[in-house]
């Protein structure tokens, strides 16, 4: 049987989602937990491969199992064997054999958090990109608007990106000011069917320069049109980035 898993994780202890031979990974942790339930090798597939330090709020993966598991019993058993790793199966659902966590997905949603305060973060340490200056929200949104739509995103693509084409359609890049108890944050809400490697972090690092006044919004347009990686602004650190959700034509986790 094939089961879809909704996964939450703190990315700090991991070298990323993808299994690696000599470093801890989220995929490796879940596959090891599956092996405790059904001995043997397990390979799970995910909607996206997050980098080292990037978090998951609602990553989606699927696994194939021999036993007739109920989704609730499977998620409970996996969570038991995942301890003490900061990985949690928050939902599970039986899906068709041809359903695929990656290839059946029609959109990915990311959230990036910037905390604006001078005092060092304590509870939010490792969960935000902290800066000590205020950002101009209107200027950042003006720059972000140039990136929405179908473009050649070579400028905002990692040099090691393995995607066949830099052409992508960005459906949403919304900048939001959020007053939190520990200080003001800027949240970037980013949505597309698929992304290039480091694309979101490249967007955020560039737009932070706009918000700080070092770039103008039009500089973002010029960087996009340059189609050169060297035209990109600084790439933001990973700890503020979250895979916030994955969309499917029929949501396997939608309870009826």
Write out the catalytic residue numbers: 51
CA–CA separation, 206 and 114 (whole Å):
13
Relative to beta strand 107-116, strand 45-46 is: unpaired
110 is in an annotated binding site: yes
CA–CA separation, 25 and 49 (whole Å):
11
Q: Is 165 helix (H, G, I), strand (E, B) or coil?
A: coil
Q: How many angstroms from the chain centroid is the CA of residue 51?
A: 8
Give yes or no for a contact between 232 and 219, defined as CB atoms under 8 angstroms apart: no
CA–CA separation, 239 and 128 (whole Å):
6
Number of C-beta neighbours around residue 233 at 10 A: 22
Phi and psi torsions of 101, nearest 5°: -60, -35
């Amino acid at each position: 049987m094939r089961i879809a898993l909704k996964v939450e994780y703190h990315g700090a202890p991991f070298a990323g989602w993808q299994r690696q031979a000599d470093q801890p990974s989220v995929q490796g942790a879940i596959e090891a937990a599956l092996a405790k339930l059904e001995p043997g090798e397990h390979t799970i597939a995910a909607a996206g491969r997050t980098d080292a330090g990037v978090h998951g709020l609602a990553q989606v993966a699927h696994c194939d199992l021999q036993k007739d598991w109920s989704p609730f019993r499977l998620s409970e058993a996996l969570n038991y064997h995942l301890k003490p790793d900061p990985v949690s199966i928050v939902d599970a659902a039986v899906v068709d054999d041809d359903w695929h966590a990656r290839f059946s997905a029609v959109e990915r949603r990311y959230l990036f958090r910037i905390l604006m305060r001078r005092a060092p973060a304590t509870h939010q340490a490792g969960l935000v990109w902290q800066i000590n200056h205020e950002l101009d929200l209107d200027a950042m949104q003006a720059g972000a608007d140039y990136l929405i739509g179908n473009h050649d995103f070579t400028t905002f693509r990692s040099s090691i990106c393995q995607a066949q084409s830099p052409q992508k359609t960005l459906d949403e890049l919304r900048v939001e000011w959020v007053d939190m108890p520990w200080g003001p944050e800027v949240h970037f809400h980013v949505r597309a069917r698929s992304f290039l490697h480091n694309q979101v972090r490249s967007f955020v690092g560039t737009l932070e320069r706009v918000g700080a006044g070092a770039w103008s919004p039009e500089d973002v347009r010029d960087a996009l049109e340059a189609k050169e990686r060297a035209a990109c602004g600084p790439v933001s650190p990973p700890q503020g980035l979250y895979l916030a959700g994955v969309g499917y034509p029929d949501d396997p986790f939608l309870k009826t």
